[in-house]
Amino acid sequence: MAARLGISRAAVWKQIRSLRKRGYKIESSTKKGYRLAGNYDILDADMIRSGLKTQWLGKDLRCFSEVTSTNEVARTIARECRSDAINRIANCTARIVKGTANCGAVDETANDGTVILAEIQTQGRGRLSRSWASPPGGIWMSLILRPQISLDRAYRINMAISVAICKALADLYGLAAGIKWPNDLLIDEKKICGILMEVSAEVDRLEYVVVGIGINANVDVSGYPAEWRSTSLGQELGRGVSRTELIQKILLEIEKSYRHMDSKEIWEEWRSRSITLGRQVRISSVSGDLLGRAVDLAEDGALMIQSRDGLHRVLAGDCIHLRALEAA
C-alpha cells in the first residue's frame, strides 16, 4: 500500500488508525498488510457526501458517534446561527450610524440544509416527548431548514418529507410504506419510520424548522416491546441495507419534494399514501379523546373525523388505529 500510494508505511498506519477510530473494523497481519473486516456500514460524512446528488441539502453534513438527540444538536446549531446573525446586524447598524461602514445584507439563511446524523441517541424523542429507541444500525437524522413561508404552511414540510421517504423506500427496495397521520411511516401496520418536526417562529414567519427522522434500518427490533409494533428494513428484506445509500437517496428525494411542497401534487400523493383514511381511529389531544372514522385529509394537513356528534377537523393529536373490536 505504501509503495502504490507513494507514501511511508508510517503514513499508512496513521490512516488505518484514523479509520479505526471512525468505527471501521480493520484486521492487520505482519508482512501481509490490512484487511477490512465487516462492519463497513458506519456513518461517514465524507462517504455520504461523495455520492450525494443534492444541490444544497446535506452539503453541510455532520456525523456523531453519540448524541442526546440529533434534534437537540440541530436546534443548538440553528439558534447559534440566529444569535450570531442578530449580533452581526446590531454591530453593522452601530457602525453604519457612526458612518464607519456599509455592511450590506446579513445572511440569515446560514446552515439551511444542514444535516445531523448520529450512530446512537441516548435521549431520542418522538411525539409528545415519548422515548424513541435509537440503537446502532438505525438512521437517526435531523435537518435544519429555513423556508421563507408563514407558520400556517409549515405542515407542508411534513407532507413533502413523508412522501419523499416513501418514494426512497419504494425505489431502493420495492417496499410500499404507508403514511399514518400525522407523521409515521408503516409497512404492514408496523412502524418503520417516525418524523418529528419542531419549529421556531416569529409572529408571521418561520425562523427555522428542525425535522427529526428516525428509520429502523439495520436495527434488531426483536427486543422492542410488542405494543410498539415495529419493524426494520433488515427484517422486511431479510438482509442488511447500506445506510449510506439510503441516506443519499432520502436526501435527494426530500430536496425534490421540498421544492414543490406547496403544489397540489404533493398533497394528493401524501393523501393517496395515507393508511389512516377510512379507518376507525382515536385521537388523543390536549382537549381530550375523539373517536370516529377518518374520512378526509385537508390540504393544510388536518384530519377530518366523522364521529357520532358530527364532523371534526383535527390539526394535531396522537392517532391510534382501532381494530374492529375496539372500534365497536
Instruction: Report the CATH number that the domain containing residue 310 is assigned in CATH.
Output: 2.30.30.100
User: 243-281: per-residue pLDDT in tens?
Assistant: 999 999 999 999 999 999 999 999 999 999 999 999 999
235 and 322 belong to one structural domain: no
161 and 296 belong to one structural domain: no
What are the grid coordinates assigned to 71, written together? 434534534
Q: How many angstroms separate the CA atoms of 231 and 220, rounded?
A: 9
DSSP-derived 3-state class of residue 230? strand
User: 30-67: per-residue pLDDT in tens?
Assistant: 878 888 776 567 899 999 999 999 999 999 999 999 99
Residue % of the chain over a pLDDT of 70: 85
According to DSSP, the residues that pair with 289 across neighbouring strands are 284
Looking at residue 104, its pLDDT comes to 47
Dihedral over Cα of 74, 76, 78, 84: its sign: negative
More confident residue, 105 or 227: 227
Of the residues 252, 272, 292, which one is the last residue of a structural domain?
272
* 119 within 8 A of 66, measured Cβ to Cβ: yes
225 and 78 belong to one structural domain: yes
Spatial CB neighbours of 323, under 8 Å, sequence gap ≥ 6: none
* Domain containing residue 290: 280-327
Looking at residue 3, its pLDDT comes to 87
Q: What is the pTM of this model?
A: 0.83
292 and 267 belong to one structural domain: no
82 and 10 belong to one structural domain: no
**Continuous H helices in the chain:** 2-5, 9-21, 45-50, 70-97, 155-173, 233-237, 243-259, 264-272, 324-327
167 and 299 belong to one structural domain: no
76 and 205 belong to one structural domain: yes
292 and 318 belong to one structural domain: yes
